[in-house]
Structure 1
């Protein structure tokens, strides 16, 4: 830390602390008893000390008034417009529209919405030069702040196929990227939701970004990175800090002078349909990690999103969680809140270094797309996911209300408006898609079958 506090007290060295701890252990081995290893191979010590910490980097995770994002799926344009107005009046600070139909009227969708001081995200699961041009023309005419989320590689990962094919997709994206607003998006949340460990998440995200740097002629705009976070609180803070550090390192190699825009959503992987109110506790700590890790925008996950269609109550609770953290807990008031935490800085450094090594391995073997085609990325994620699944199945990884202290009287069969499990869709694909799957799915299916 820059300012040394409590200088009137005599300092205690790390060696003295270890001696005292060893005495308290009464003969037990210090390393075996108190040091544990994470799935990423990071050995976590019981304490961290200034005389053992040398910060080799500076992460700018300054609080920039993170924005609260409301997701709106555009089915009926008029209803979506009214819902956007309502949610902005009730605490949302930014809107993310998902538009699946390129015939949508932008003028009608944006009618009477505040434009100059509100950022609007547009997630487009299709590639259309004409539609993005319409969005660009609207921003120029109305001085609007739009971020377009286009990710052909993310489509390839999730669907197993390109929008059209690799050649056409990148030709279109090269044309689109010449427009004045942000259009390059990295849907990195799929890696976390499919079960990749944190080093893999960071390395695959970095390789994902690098594919665009290599294939897009000129990226003169900020890149948006979508990230999912879980409940490993301090690790998730460190993960976001490491991501920003790694992005800046990579971007500098391409003379890309824009910072990334990180938008965070809580993971679905640890969410449950039984004892669903616990999901609110999970998303609260996950949003806390996102804020302290330096997220620019946060889109909270409603507690009932697995099994209910979009509804006002679930959305309101999700927004209110962030409003409380922002306006009552003042989480956005401290600059670089993780600075000076030797534990978080140590985790950040180790995650960044391990991810950089894995990234270099991927690039030595011709990059992310080649490894996806060869099935290497899918296999590595599957292996990591299975290790976590084994821990859950054995009770070593706990989800309260599901594999620990379950309420046997819970009944969910009649409450399912959505199918909450992996959907089977046999079809021809170029690669095996990366499948997002929750830890509790097998257990929940068994419980549903037992319900009378």
Structure 2
């Protein structure tokens, strides 16, 4: 559109907008009526204006111009995993996230896969230097893009224990970085914090402090050889989640620059489980769609969706196909691939990005001033803070201020689920000896769902 068309209209200042709003409120208080506070303590205004801009908005470091659709596959039977991989790639997946609890034969799992068309992410619940060296020998073609996603601290936070012990775990990772310096080994799994109930400021600060432990330990590793991948869970607070991903990139760039390391990181985003439900389960598709949209607009490199029935059904072809098709529709039919960084310069999202980053940086500095992330994990401080945040959010859900359609808002009392549960959808207790208290994922709807199941 030509610039001269805009010259026909007078500019309207932020002050003029506020005066107009005050008139329309007819005496009601502007702050009490229109400004609300998020769980992170951010006061959200009814409008954002260029007049409030302190300086020109800076480019987000490492913001990608495109994104990849990922499919999650658990390797139990190698031949089945291979069949699922080929089928997923044929049906539109561009990356595969492989989970495994034990070693496997890569020749069987990756038979027929093309290295030029597929990103590979691994999520192992074990640590074996010999096996990873074996994988690298298989993936010797440089066309493969492999993310090994080794997260020693992530395993500690999730299970309460190291894989072996602190010394041996770090020796294995040190050895791998020395033998294979160009590989993408290090991961920070921040998805656990969101799924356990941490607010966004905590998620960002803990992710940054988590990453800082690796940057500090591997300070001597060269810039080009230290590549970190963040895994994030994305919730349903649409604009805040967009801002969260952008804020993480800004924060990591600032932290990495202090170590003279590469300021760009890779982000793998997956919808949160915290707000998912077993009742009225089709609503989960609506939740994951907006969450994937936030991940795209926020600038995730790779996005993997959750199946609508992931809580109570074993992995199945229909659920996985629907979840993948949601991403394909966003990419191919909703034009979410055509604009690079569309959130840049939007006053509201830019303001949220800065506020989240500033609050998270303040919390990060407090963590470091009190001994660092590992020390606070061992003392139980991080776990306590997440529990406090989760408890506040749970109270809002229990009171109805946080609404989950079909669960605590407009529930369908004729909806019965007792006979449909292939998987146990609630927190499982597994008493064991641990070094620290593990951080436990917990959904908001669990108590409500358990009470309903008892009365079916």
- Post-superposition offset of 1:266: 0.3
Cα pair 1:63 1:334 within 8 Å, conserved: no
Task: Tell me if 1:176 matches 2:176.
Answer: yes
Deviation string, structure 1 residues 51-110 (Cα, Å, up to 9, x no partner): 1122453314754321000000000111111110011000111111112112x1111211
Q: What is residue 167 of structure 1 aligned with on the other side?
A: 167
Deviation string, structure 1 residues 166-202 (Cα, Å, up to 9, x no partner): 1111111111223121010111000000000000000
- Post-superposition offset of 1:353: 0.5
CA distance 1:4–1:308, shift in 2 (3 Å) = farther
The separation in 1 between residues aligned to 2:5 and 2:333, in whole angstroms, is 27
Deviation string, structure 1 residues 265-292 (Cα, Å, up to 9, x no partner): 0000000000000000000000000000
The separation in 1 between residues aligned to 2:140 and 2:156, in whole angstroms, is 31
Of 188, 191, 199, which aligns to 1:189?
191
Q: What is residue 60 of structure 2 aligned with on the other side?
A: 59
Cα pair 1:96 1:120 within 8 Å, conserved: yes
Task: Tell me if 1:432 matches 2:437.
Answer: yes
Task: Tell me if 1:347 matches 2:352.
Answer: yes
Q: Where in structure 2 are the equivalents of 1:285-296 lying within 5 Å?
A: 285-296=290-301
Q: Where in structure 2 are the equivalents of 1:41-440 lying within 5 Å?
A: 41-55=41-55, 57-60=58-61, 62-102=63-103, 104-141=104-141, 143-178=143-178, 179=180, 180-216=182-218, 217-218=220-221, 220-257=225-262, 259-440=264-445
The separation in 1 between residues aligned to 2:255 and 2:64, in whole angstroms, is 23
- Post-superposition offset of 1:8: 2.6
The separation in 2 between residues aligned to 1:362 and 1:54, in whole angstroms, is 28
Q: What is residue 24 of structure 1 aligned with on the other side?
A: 24
Equivalent position SS for 1:123:
strand
Equivalent position SS for 2:245:
helix
CA distance 1:4–1:140, shift in 2 (3 Å) = farther
Comparing 247-256 and 68-77, the one that deviates more: 247-256
Equivalent position SS for 1:6:
helix
The separation in 1 between residues aligned to 2:303 and 2:364, in whole angstroms, is 26
CA distance 1:352–1:112, shift in 2 (3 Å) = same
Equivalent position SS for 1:140:
coil
Comparing 262-271 and 52-61, the one that deviates more: 52-61
- Post-superposition offset of 1:6: 2.2
User: Structure 2: where are the runs of 5+ without partners?
Assistant: none
Count how many residue pairs are aligned between Structure 1 and Structure 2. Answer: 448
The separation in 2 between residues aligned to 1:387 and 1:272, in whole angstroms, is 19
Aligned residues: CA RMSD = 1.4
Tell me the TM-score normalised to structure 1 length.
0.97
The separation in 1 between residues aligned to 2:63 and 2:100, in whole angstroms, is 32
Runs of 4+ in 1 over 4 A off after TM superposition: 60-63
The separation in 2 between residues aligned to 1:212 and 1:434, in whole angstroms, is 20
The separation in 2 between residues aligned to 1:172 and 1:244, in whole angstroms, is 28
Cα pair 1:303 1:314 within 8 Å, conserved: yes
Tell me the TM-score normalised to structure 2 length.
0.96
Equivalent position SS for 1:262:
strand
Cα pair 2:61 2:253 within 8 Å, conserved: no
CA distance 1:329–1:63, shift in 2 (3 Å) = farther
User: Structure 1: where are the runs of 5+ without partners?
Assistant: none
Q: What is residue 10 of structure 1 aligned with on the other side?
A: 10
